[in-house]
Amino acid sequence: MFIIFGMSLGETDLRWWKKIIQRIIESNALVVLHRFDLSLNFTKAKPRKYLEIMESTTDMLFEHNKGLVSATERRKVIPLINSKNLFVDHNYKEIKV
C-alpha cells in the first residue's frame, strides 16, 4: 500500500509515479492519494461534483502512464479529497462538506 500525502503529481517526481503505476498494474498494490486543495468546491448536496474531483485526482496519477489503464487498476487508487479524518495538514481549515 502506498500513501501519497503532501506531494504534487508533477513531472519532477515522474520516476516515482512510473514505479507506483507499475506496481499497481503488476500486483495488488493499493494507493491512497490525498489531495488537499481548498479551492475545490463540493458539498453533500452535490455528490456528483465530489465524484468528478475523485476521478480527476486518479487521472492526475495515471497521466504519467503511457499505456492503457484498466478499470480494475483504477479501482486500486483511493482518492481522498481534503480529508480531515485520515490526514490533517497544519494549515487545514474547517470545510463544511
Residue 31: φ, ψ to 5°: -125, 120
Cell numbers found for residue 35: 489531495
Q: What is the pLDDT along the chain (97 residues), one digit of tens a residue?
A: 988 876 776 777 788 888 999 999 999 999 998 888 878 877 777 888 888 988 998 998 888 787 788 999 999 999 988 777 765 555 655 555 5
* Cα R_g (the chain), whole angstroms: 14
Give the model confidence (pLDDT) of 31-50 as tens digits.
998 888 878 877 777 888 88
Return the sign of the alpha-carbon dihedral for residues 88, 94, 95, 97.
positive
Distance CA 68, CA 13 (A): 21
- Whole-model pTM above 0.75? no
